[in-house]
Amino acid sequence: MKHHWISGDTPEYLLDKPNDTIPDSVLEDKPPTTQPVFHLFPQLPLEVRLKIWRFSLEPRVLELHSRRTHYAQAEDWPWQSNCYNPALLSVCDEARGEALAALTVALPMPQGGMLYCDPMRDVLAILGDSDLPRLRQLFAEVEDQDPRGVETPGPQRRLLEGSDHRYMQYLVLVDRFKQFRGQGDSWMVVGKAQIRIEELVFMDEDGTRLE
């Protein structure tokens, strides 16, 4: 059976008819090789172009891996990740500027580059063993680079901790001056070490606290 492709210039009254009743002049043996291109994007108002660039950024889950802890390992060793930065950073200066306005946190990688993330929409997935000082350093680094401030509720403190491919999402409220100082009898395991946390709450996507 031979398949035919309908030309893009086919009149509407022919589109609902079977192929054997459509003139050969509007039938093609091959699919179109070119896609329509919108050439007027540079002529759009700047405000419209910036909104289009911003809307092209989607929420992401960024995996961060820590090297296995060792007594001789430096505490400031960069996190490792197999994730990529959004392509918007490499389109043009205008797109890159709009992307960097949202991707306010830049985490150094061992290869020398940066992994950019939006602390209000992206989720950091911490995989593998991680000790308390490194996690606390990561919290502080994300917090310091977020221009919206520590009082802004959002996923900047939302982490995923995984074991045996089973992931649990939790949100830890960290006080700047009382980071992970134990209160009460609640314990949480991060990696292989037990730590006592100040408070553990669960929240939905719009920031509403779940009781």
Whether 183 and 208 have beta carbons less than 8 Å apart is answered as no
As a whole number of angstroms, the distance between CA 154 and CA 205 comes to 9
Whole-number average pLDDT of the chain? 67
For residues 138-148, give the mean pLDDT.
Answer: 79
Could you give the CA distance from residue 105 to residue 101 in angstroms, rounded to a whole number? 10
SS3 for 187?
A: strand
Separation CA 144–CA 123 (nearest Å): 17
Other Cβ atoms within 10 Å of 44 Cβ, number: 13
Q: Which two tokens stand for residue 98?
A: 């709009």
The one-letter amino acid at 106? A
pLDDT in tens, 40-75: 888 889 999 999 999 999 888 888 887 655 555 555
pLDDT score recorded for residue 27 = 53
**Main-chain dihedrals φ then ψ at residue 130, nearest 5 degrees:** -140, 130
Q: Where are the alpha helices (DSSP H) in 62-187?
A: 93-102, 132-145
Q: Mean pLDDT over residues 3-28, rounded? A: 50
How much of the chain, in percent, has pLDDT values that exceed 90?
13
**pLDDT recorded at residue 97:** 93
β-sheet bridge partners, residue 194? 189
Phi, psi of 149 (to 5 degrees): 90, 160
* 165 vs 73, more confident: 73
Range of weakest confidence among 3-7, 78-82, 195-199: 3-7
Q: Which residues pair with 195 in a beta bridge?
A: 188
Burial per residue of 191-202, b for 16 or more beta-carbon CB atoms within 10 angstroms, e otherwise: beeebebbeeee
Are 88 and 55 a contacting pair, CB within 8 Å? no
H runs (alpha helix) in the chain: 46-55, 93-102, 132-145
State residue 182's pLDDT score.
40
pTM: predicted TM-score of the whole model, two decimal places: 0.54
What are the structure tokens assigned to 33, written together?
Answer: 């090789």
